[in-house]
Amino acid sequence: MTWRNPIKELLNLEKISKFTFIGFLGLLIDNGVIFLLEQNTEIMIEVAKLISAELSIIFMFLLNEKWTFDAQKDGLRRFLKSNLVRSGGVIVALVVLKVLYDLFGIPVILANTIGIIAGFGFNYVFESLYTWKIHRD
């Protein structure tokens, strides 16, 4: 096993660009689902957020697995790690959503987008180092 400089690997512009693009697609899915749930159901916004986040996480994992990190094996194990790691980003996003939506009356899509952006950096660093272990061959 070869070890690489984790800072250099985290700053890889190609990986950052791919992760960001996939994150943008995930944001669209997350916002679409949370909007539909908020408009068409009586479920609490927290539940809607968890549903929208999980659907988005599954989508983003599948794309990042093949395109960003070009992983070849142990996909199920990595998916479980990804869900664990992204739960931190979801917590950040949910807290921001709740504060902006409940306390300040900001529309759900804008509040959710700001929350997702707040959790993005957390997700990139921990997904790169823990889920896909970019610092190791």
Please report the pLDDT score of residue 137 as a whole number: 57
Regions of the chain short of the pLDDT cut 70 = 1-2, 135-137
Contact indicator for 57, 83 with CB cutoff of 8 Å: yes
What integer pLDDT is reported at residue 117 of this predicted model? 95
Q: Which candidate, 35, 53, 76, places its Cα nearest to that of 123?
A: 53
The structural domains of the chain, with segments of one domain joined by +, span 23-131
Measured CA to CA in angstroms, residue 60 lies from 15, 18, 66 at distances of: 14, 11, 10
- Would the CA dihedral through 73, 77, 83, 88 be positive or negative? negative
